[in-house]
Amino acid sequence: MKKKETKKPQKQTVSAYIEGSGKVVETDIVTTLEENYMPYAMSVIVSRALPEIDGFKPSHRKLLYTMYQMGLLNGARTKSANIVGQTMHLNPHGDAAIYETMVRLARSNEALLHPYVDSKGNFGKAYSRDMAYAASRYTEAKLEPISAELFAEIDKDAVDMVPNYDNSTTEPTLFPVRFPSVLVNSNFGLAVSMASNICSFNLKEVCETTIALIKNPQHDALSTLKGPDFPGGGLIVYDEDEMRRIYNTGIGAVKVRAVYNFDKENRCIEVTQIPPTTTVEAIIDKVVELVKEGKIREISDARDEIDLNGLRLTFDLKKGCEPEAVMQKLFRLTPLQENFNCNFNVLIAGTPKVMGVYEIISEWTEFRRQCVKRRIYFDVAKKKEKLHLLLGLKKILLDIDYAIKLIRETEEEAEVVPNLMIGFGIDELQAEYVAEIKLRHINREYILKRTEETESLQNEIAEMEDILNSPKKIDKVIIEELEDIIKKYSQPRRTMFLYDVSEEEEIVEEKPEGYPLNVFFTREGYFKQITPKSLRMSSEQKLKENDEVVISAEVSSNSDLLFFTNKFQCYKSRCADFPETKASVMGDYIPAKLGMDEGETPIFMAVTENYSETLVIFFKNGKCAKIPLSSYETKTKRKKLSNAFSGLSEVAAMFVINGDADFILQSTAGKTILFNTALVLAKTTRDTQGVQVMRLTKAELSGAYRADSIELENAENYRIKTIPQAGILGGFEQMKLE
C-alpha cells in the first residue's frame, strides 16, 4: 500500500519592494507582519496609548515637563501656541495633537478631577461634543499648583532621564509624583488589541487608603476608598460586590446616573450633572429620537441651557406626568444612566498589566520608595561633597597665615593648588575650594562659620543613611508626604452614592395614556399596527403571496405582545416597539425583528395590557391547557421565555380568553364536542401538558373553534358536562364559519 500523501498548506505571500533595487519580491506574510506590524503595535502599546504607574502617557509627560522647564510652575501664563511649539522639542507628532493633550489637562475643560494646567480662554467642555476649544493662539496657560508634586524631585535623580528623539536634550521616563495620580485622574487609552480605562477617585480617599495599606497590607480599601469620584459629579448606583471586583481585578462596571431637580413652578426637570461617558448633545439627540418614535410621550420640549453657571439640561413635562416616573424611564432609555466600564490596564516596567486598586497602590508604593531612595542618595552625595570641602577648610583654619604665605610665595598660579595639597595634606578638590576663597573671606569669623557646618552636615548625613537602611523610615517619609498633600489639595467628593436601588425599581415605568390601534398578525409571521383613522382611509391589506391575516384586534398602544413559536418559546415585545404603519405596507417580519433562532417561526400572538387574561392551548392529542397570562409576566425586561408551553404534542390551536368560554372541538375521526373551559383547571406552570378533554382512538384533534365564532346546528346536542368524552359523530357539515 502506498502511503497517502498529505498536502502541506501553502504559505500566504505578499509583494515587497526592495528599496534601491527596483525589484519586487514575494515574501511570507507572517514574516512581513512580524517585521513591520509588530514593532508598530508594540510602539503604540508601550510608547503612546497606555498610562504608566505615574499616571501619565508619554504625550502628557512631554507637555508637562516642557511647561516645567519653561518656568510655568510659578511664572505668569503664556500663550498656548508658545507651549505647543516648545513641546515639539520632545514630541514631534504635530501641534494639533499636542494642543489637544493640553486641552484635556486644563481646568476649563473639566475632564480631570485635579487638573494640571491652569487655563485662560475657551478650552471647550468635556461634557459637550459641539463646544469646540479655541485655537492655541487665543488661549493662555501655566501649571497648576498641584503640578509641583510631579516635579518636586525631578532634579535630584529620582527618576531616569533619557535623550529625546534627536538627542538634543533629555526628558524623564516617569514623573516622581508624590501621590497615586494614576487613580486620582481618569485615563483612557486605545492601543492595538488592548485598551485602558481608569476612572478617577477622590484625592483624599486615595491618599488615606495608600497610607492605610502601607501600614497594614490587609486593610480593606473599600472602608476608606468609597468608590469613583467623577469630575462631572453624578450618582453611582452602588453595588458592593461589583466594587470589590473592580478593587481586586481592575475589571468591572460602575453604573452612573445623572443628577436632576424638579422645578414645580415651570413643570420641568433640570439635569445638572451627567455620567462621564456621555455628552449633553448625545442625551438631547436620544430624547428627541424617543419622542419622535412615541416611546416617550411625557416630554413636550428638551433644551440645552448651558451657561456661565455650568451644565443644565431642561425637559418640559406635560400635565399629569410624574417627574420621578419620567426620570426612571429616561434612565432606562437614554444616556442619563450609563455604565463606566473599568479596565485598569497600566504599563509596569514596559509591560501592560491589568491590576486592581490594591495592586496599583502596591506598585505605586514600590515605585515611590525607589524615588525617595534615589532622592536621598542624591542629597547624601551632595552633602558628603560639601562636607569634604569643609573638612579641607577646617585644616586651613589651623594656620591661615601660613596658607597666605604659601600662596604669596608661589611663583606660578598652576603651583598654588599642589603647594596647598602638600602644605596642609588635603586633596585637589579641597585645595581648589580653598584657593578660590575671596580675599574678604580670609578671616577667622568666616572660616569658623563654615567649619561649624561640618557637625550639622555629619548629623544630617548619618540621619539620611539611617533612613536608607530602614524600610519603615522610607515608608514614614512617603506617609508624611501623602498627609501633606491631603492638607494642601483635598476637596469634597463630587460623586455621591445611591444605595439599595433594586433592579425592579430601576425599570418602573409609568405608561402614558394609551390610544387605539388595530393590530394584524399573519400566518407567515408578519405583524403591523395601524391607527383607526389610517385604517378607515385604506382597509385593503397588503400581504405576501398566499399569506392571510389570522389574528386582528383593536387594542391599546400600551399593550404587550406575546409571540409563541414552533420551538415552544415565547418572545415578548410591546406595541410601542413597532412603528405605526399603513394597510398598504406588508409589516415587520417577526422572526427577523425579534431575532428568533434559525428555523423558528411564530404560530400565535397574544395581546394584553394587564395580563389578566387566560391562554387556552389545544393539543392534537386531545388535551387542553389553561394558563393564566400572568405566568408570562416578568418584573425584568426579559424578551425571551423558554418552555413557554408543552412540547409533548403538536398544537392544534391557541386562544386568549377573558373568564371562561365555550369551544367546539373536532377530531379526524369525524366526531365533535362542545364544552366550556370551566371544566379545565388552570395551571400556572407554563409547560403544563393539560388535561384530556376529547378521548381519541387512532385519531387526533383536527380543529378547535370558539363557539361564538361559528354556527353549529343543534349545538347543545354536542355539549359535554364531564371530561374526557369521545364526542358525537357529525357536526362537520352543519358548521358555518361566521
SS3 track for 591-618: HHHCCCCCCCCEEEEEEECCCCCEEEEE
Q: What is the pLDDT of residues 338-360, one digit of tens each?
A: 999 999 999 998 899 999 999 99
Question: Distance from first CA to last CA of the chain, Å, rounded?
Answer: 77
Determine the average pLDDT of the residues in 252-272: 93
Pick from 195, 220, 157: nearest CA to 380: 157
**How many Cβ atoms from other residues are within 10 Å of residue 69's Cβ?**
16
Clarify whether 138 is annotated catalytic: yes
Print the SS3 string covering 372-385: HHHHHHHHHHHHHH
Determine the average pLDDT of the residues in 317-321: 85
Q: Give the model's pLDDT for residue 504.
A: 43
Q: What is the pLDDT of residues 200-220, one digit of tens each?
A: 999 999 999 999 999 999 999
* Cell numbers found for residue 641: 421565555
The DSSP symbol for 85 reads: H
**How many Cβ atoms from other residues are within 10 Å of residue 155's Cβ?**
11
Q: Considering 138, 165, 402, 515, which one is annotated as catalytic? A: 138
* CB-CB contact of 542 with 572 (8 Å): no
Q: Is the domain defined by 506-737 classed in CATH 2.40.110.10?
A: no
Q: Give the model's pLDDT for residue 485.
A: 97
- Rounded to a whole number, what is the largest CA-CA distance in the chain? 150
Q: Which of 114-128, 308-322, 638-652, 694-708 has the highest mean pLDDT?
A: 114-128
Helix, strand and coil content of the chain, in percent to the nearest 5, comes to 35, 25, 40
Burial of 484 by CB count in 10 Å (0-12 exposed, 13-18 middle, 19+ buried)?
Answer: middle
Q: Give the model's pLDDT for residue 449.
A: 77
**How many Cβ atoms from other residues are within 10 Å of residue 721's Cβ?**
8
Q: Determine which helix (DSSP H) or strand (DSSP E) holds 63, and give its type and residue range.
A: helix 58-69
Q: What is the pLDDT of residues 385-414, one digit of tens each?
A: 999 988 888 888 777 788 888 888 888 888
* pLDDT: which is higher, 416 or 18: 416
Determine the average pLDDT of the residues in 267-286: 94
Output the DSSP codes for 130-148: S-PPPPTTT-EEEE-GGGH
Task: Tell me the C-alpha distance between 1 and 694, whole Å.
Answer: 68
Angle at Cα 224 formed by Cα 222 and Cα 225, nearest 5°?
60
* CB-CB contact of 494 with 113 (8 Å): yes
Architecture category of domain 363-489 in CATH:
Orthogonal Bundle (1.10)
What residue type is 316 in one-letter code? D
Phi–psi pair at 595, nearest 5 degrees: 65, 45
Q: Is 513 helix (H, G, I), strand (E, B) or coil?
A: coil
* pLDDT: which is higher, 574 or 258: 258
* Cell numbers found for residue 158: 529620582
Task: Tell me the C-alpha distance between 452 and 446, whole Å.
Answer: 10
Q: Is the dihedral of CA 472, 473, 477, 479 positive or negative?
A: positive
Q: Is the pLDDT of residue 1 over 50?
A: no
* CB-CB contact of 679 with 723 (8 Å): yes
Determine the average pLDDT of the residues in 243-265: 94
Task: Tell me the C-alpha distance between 168 and 148, whole Å.
Answer: 25
Q: Give the model's pLDDT for residue 462.
A: 93
**Options 3.40.50.620, 3.30.1360.40, 3.40.50.300, 3.50.50.60; CATH of 259-335:** 3.30.1360.40
CATH hierarchy code of domain 50-177 = 3.90.199.10
Helix H segments across 219-356?
Answer: 240-249, 280-293, 323-333
Task: Tell me the C-alpha distance between 673 and 662, whole Å.
Answer: 10
**How many Cβ atoms from other residues are within 10 Å of residue 328's Cβ?**
18
Q: Give the model's pLDDT for residue 20.
A: 59
Task: Tell me the C-alpha distance between 625 and 632, whole Å.
Answer: 15
Angle at Cα 304 formed by Cα 97 and Cα 497, nearest 5°?
80
Q: Is 167 left (phi over 0), alpha (psi -120 to 50) or beta?
A: left
* CB-CB contact of 469 with 373 (8 Å): no
For the chain, the structural domain boundaries read 13-44, 50-177, 259-335, 363-489, 506-737
* Cell numbers found for residue 287: 430624547
Phi–psi pair at 57, nearest 5 degrees: -90, 165
* CB-CB contact of 109 with 125 (8 Å): yes
* Cell numbers found for residue 546: 398566499
* pLDDT: which is higher, 425 or 474: 474
Determine the average pLDDT of the residues in 723-730: 85
Q: Give the model's pLDDT for residue 18.
A: 57
Q: What is the pLDDT of residues 610-636, one digit of tens each?
A: 888 999 999 999 999 999 998 888 876
Tell me how far the alpha carbon of residue 252 is from its chain's centroid.
9
Pick from 607, 610, 727: nearest CA to 672: 727
* Cell numbers found for residue 738: 361566521
Q: What is the pLDDT of residues 623-672, one digit of tens each?
A: 999 999 988 888 766 688 888 998 888 999 999 998 888 898 888 888 88
Task: Tell me the C-alpha distance between 76 and 363, whole Å.
Answer: 36
Q: What is the pLDDT of residues 95-128, one digit of tens each?
A: 999 999 999 999 999 999 999 999 999 999 999 9
Q: Is 298 helix (H, G, I), strand (E, B) or coil?
A: coil
